[in-house]
Amino acid sequence: WQARSHMESGDIHGIIDQSLDAGYDLQSVWKIAEVATMCVKPKGVLRPSISEVLKEIQDAIAIELQRELPSSIHHLMSKTSPSEAVNTTGSLQDLEQNASFDELLMRPGLR
């Protein structure tokens, strides 16, 4: 109930675990909070389908990955030659696209 109150007043920070220490994108937090709110509607017909929920979660993960990817690329480029960086970056993108949902959730930046 308190979470809904915070959301309605626009205070998403009121429901976020402070131990996350701003290690997240607010847009992804809003997506998850909104879909969670829809999932607990009293009538089943008002709740989203599992495919809609999955899409929203995947969108939120994509937002987080985009936020983190530039620093990952910068880190890789500082350790490799320019030609190696291109290949490594391509491999990183392939890895992100082929990672399972569970693997994505276990990454440090997504907790």
- Measured at the CA of 60, the angle between CA 32 and CA 9, to 5 degrees, comes to 40
In the chain, domain spans? 2-110
Q: Is the pTM of this model over 0.95?
A: no
Structure tokens given for 42: 């009293």
Rounded mean pLDDT, 16-37: 83
Cβ-contact 37, 1 below 8 angstroms: no
Query: What percent of the chain clears pLDDT 90, i.e. is strictly above it?
Result: 25
Residue-wise pLDDT for 43-67, tens only, equals 999 999 999 999 999 999 999 888 7
Residue-wise pLDDT for 75-90, tens only, equals 565 555 444 444 434 4
